[in-house]
Amino acid sequence: MKVQVRYFASIREALGEGEWIEVPAGASVREVRDQLIASSPVHAIALARGKALRCALNQALCDESTVATAHAEIAFFPPVTGG
């Protein structure tokens, strides 16, 4: 299934605004993050497991165990962002 991934703040500076990716049906936000980390060295640094990141599914804050649906929007951003 395809999902739209969006990035904000310092992650956007490293990776751009976002991208559409293909993920397995029933993938969790954690699995999407892991797939992105494995996709390139730049993604691996920006989304590294040691970094504190917040995530949202369809514009609602969620934890990484949340399961995505087809055409969902998944956003990653630092815990504190500027306005």
User: pLDDT tens digit string along 10-50?
Assistant: 999 999 999 999 999 999 999 999 999 999 999 999 999 99
Of 83, 62, 39, 8, nearest to 72 by C-alpha is 62
In b/e form, how buried is each residue of 6-30, taking b as 16+ CB within 10 angstroms?
bbbeebbeebeebeebebeeebbbe
* pLDDT tier for residue 83 given thresholds of 50, 70 and 90: low
The verdict on pTM exceeding 0.75 is yes
- Residue 69 confidence (pLDDT): 95
- 10 token code pair: 């310092």
pLDDT of residue 14: 96
Alpha carbon distance 21, 77 (integer Å): 18
Residue 78 has pLDDT above 70, yes or no: yes
Domains along the chain with CATH numbers: 2-77 (3.10.20.30)
**Whole-angstrom Cα distance, residue 71 to residue 66?**
15
Residue type, position 35, single letter: Q
Compute the mean pLDDT over every residue in the chain, rounded to the nearest whole number: 95
Q: Please give the single-letter amino acid code of residue 67.
A: V
